[in-house]
Amino acid sequence: MQDLVENLRSVDGVKNVKRQGEDVLMINLFCREVPGSEEVVDVQGDLRSISQKLVNVLDSEVSGSWSWMVKPEKKYQETGLETESVSDRKVKGHKPGYYMVSLT
């Protein structure tokens, strides 16, 4: 388990990895709060690249199976009712700024 934690910490964009029980890991990302929003954070780096690197490490290090419990999701700015088109959504940030992984 210690080797897995060390390998996850070595992924670019990962701030730290904490054990949240026997078979649960919390992988915190480098991020900062978005001004004017309490829930949304701005992840530092390419989230798709970070996710793929984490998947590669987990697939190679975990002997059993694993699954995401929590993943960061994009959150968008709210559009007013006067806007006719929905295609102008702007990304506000991500929520939450961490992953939770269950190892079984």
Which helix (H) or strand (E) segment holds residue 60: the answer is helix 47-61
Domains identified in the chain, total number:
1
6 backbone dihedrals φ, ψ, rounded to 5°: -65, -40
Q: What is the pLDDT of residue 50?
A: 95
pTM of the model: 0.83
Per residue of the chain (104 residues), give pLDDT as tens.
Answer: 889 999 999 999 999 999 998 899 999 999 999 888 878 999 998 999 999 999 999 999 998 899 999 999 988 877 666 656 666 667 788 899 999 999 98
Full residue range of the structural domain in which residue 43 is found = 2-78+85-103
56 backbone dihedrals φ, ψ, rounded to 5°: -60, -45
Q: What is the pLDDT of residue 10?
A: 96
